[in-house]
């Protein structure tokens, strides 16, 4: 068995214009001061990293790594969640997602998609240059507006959607393969990859591409009423990244899974700071350890109630307390008799 690495922290929700959140150096020093050992870097935050430069210059990648290491931290992974979303956008969401792209590509869906694909390819090379073996992203969505089967979906619609999604991602997956990096999709509402069935559809459409892997985040499954522990049993071989995020689901007589268009504070399903929600993290860490997950446990803070800095301060010790230092011996070794084939045969009567 292997011991999970951590605690790490995803920097996306903390990036800002004010110190210490406005530069990679200062935010790393802040994170280290809270007890974190690793940082997951959002590549759309230009004050943290120039993704293209990290892909094209080993010297620059070494400088980025040096800034993080100087704070006593490691880079856990890079993230292209926003860019990955733009690989596949249904026209109904054009205006909503245009803000994820540079201003010069807004209002031009084809140019926006081309930019996003290139960003993912840069991420593959940048990850290699940084010595990383996994990368986080979203799949984007062409079918999400049909997630509820009314009106009735035309025959073949879902198959055509996943065929097109795979067509867009295959060149990216091949680039990640060429650079020795697993591409980990965060299974997330709003994406065409939002549960196990949709991941399997996509995997099949890509020809079971070896680099099409998973970022495991139990919070999204709590809100879907999906068994997030059995999910690990089913997909553990594909889980290469782990977001430690809490959530709760408290349905009422007025509202349930769909939330009634309410804001996060009033929704029955909402994300919470670590320890404030309903996720069985003892079970999660136990199962991941059982299946030899040896990647990072990275806190992603999203809470409608608690201040982010409090969530971060509480998050590092929370993760540390849940990481299981694996045993090197069996608990009943004291009563063992060692290896003796002759004795084994005698016990069996053969």
Q: What's the CATH code of the domain at 146?
A: 3.20.20.150
Specify the pLDDT at position 340.
85
Enter the pTM of the model.
0.96
Position 210 scores a pLDDT of 98
User: What confidence score (pLDDT) does residue 83 get?
Assistant: 98
Expressed as residue numbers, the domain containing 159 is: 5-348
Per the structure, the count of domains in the chain is: 1
For strand 246-249 and strand 269-272, is the pairing parallel, antiparallel, or unpaired? antiparallel
- The answer to whether the beta carbons of residues 302 and 277 sit under 8 Å apart is no
Determine the pLDDT at residue 261.
Answer: 98
Task: Evaluate whether 138 touches 186 at the Cβ level (below 8 Å).
Answer: yes
Q: What is the pLDDT of residue 297?
A: 99
Phi, psi for residue 77 in degrees, rounded to 5: -160, 165
Give residue-wise pLDDT tens across range 204-226: 999 999 999 999 999 999 999 99
Span 69-127, pLDDT tens digits:
999 999 999 999 999 999 999 999 999 999 999 999 999 999 999 999 999 999 999 99
Q: What is the pLDDT of residue 1?
A: 87
Contact 179, 134 (CB under 8 A): no
Structural element, H or E, at residue 299: strand 296-299
What's CA 49's distance to the chain center, in Å? 19
Q: Give the per-residue pLDDT at 20.
A: 98
Alpha-carbon distance of 12 to 186, in angstroms, equals 15
- Per-residue pLDDT tens digits of the chain, which is 350 residues long: 899 999 999 999 999 999 999 999 999 999 999 999 999 999 999 999 999 999 999 999 999 999 999 999 999 999 999 999 999 999 999 999 999 999 999 999 999 999 999 999 999 999 999 999 999 999 999 999 999 999 999 999 999 999 999 999 999 999 999 999 999 999 999 999 999 999 999 999 999 999 999 999 999 999 999 999 999 999 999 999 999 999 999 999 999 999 999 999 999 999 999 999 999 999 999 999 999 999 999 999 999 999 999 999 999 999 999 999 998 888 877 778 777 899 899 889 99
């Amino acid at each position: 068995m292997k011991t999970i690495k951590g605690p790490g922290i995803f920097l996306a929700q903390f990036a800002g214009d004010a110190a210490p959140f406005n530069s990679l150096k200062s935010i790393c020093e802040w994170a280290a001061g809270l007890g974190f050992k690793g940082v997951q870097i959002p590549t759309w935050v230009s004050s943290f990293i120039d993704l293209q430069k990290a892909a094209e210059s080993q010297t620059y990648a070494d400088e980025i790594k040096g800034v993080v290491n100087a704070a006593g931290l490691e880079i856990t992974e890079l993230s292209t969640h926003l860019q990955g979303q733009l690989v596949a956008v249904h026209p109904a969401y054009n205006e909503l997602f245009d803000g994820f792209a540079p201003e010069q590509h807004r209002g031009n869906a084809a140019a926006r998609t081309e930019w996003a694909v290139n960003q993912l390819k840069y991420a593959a090379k940048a990850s290699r240059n940084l010595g990383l073996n996994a990368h986080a992203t979203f799949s984007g969505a062409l079918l999400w507006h049909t997630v509820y089967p009314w009106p009735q979906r035309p025959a073949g619609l879902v198959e055509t959607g996943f065929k097109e999604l795979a067509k867009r991602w295959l060149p990216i997956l091949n680039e990640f393969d060429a650079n020795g990096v697993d591409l980990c999709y965060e299974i997330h509402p709003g994406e065409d990859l939002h549960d196990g069935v949709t991941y399997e559809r996509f995997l099949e459409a890509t020809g079971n591409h070896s680099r099409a892997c998973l970022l495991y985040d139990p919070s999204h499954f709590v809100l879907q009423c999906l068994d997030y522990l059995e999910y690990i049993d089913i997909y553990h071989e594909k889980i290469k990244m782990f977001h430690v995020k809490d959530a709760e689901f408290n349905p009422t007589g007025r509202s349930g899974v769909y939330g009634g268009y309410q804001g996060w504070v009033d929704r029955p399903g909402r994300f919470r700071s670590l320890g404030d929600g309903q996720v069985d993290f003892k079970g999660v860490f136990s199962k991941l350890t059982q299946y030899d997950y040896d990647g990072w446990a990275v806190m992603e803070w999203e809470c409608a109630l608690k201040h982010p800095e409090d969530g971060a301060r509480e998050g590092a010790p929370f993760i540390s307390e849940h990481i299981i230092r694996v045993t090197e011996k069996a608990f009943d070794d004291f009563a063992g008799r060692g290896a003796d084939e002759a004795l084994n045969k005698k016990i069996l009567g053969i």
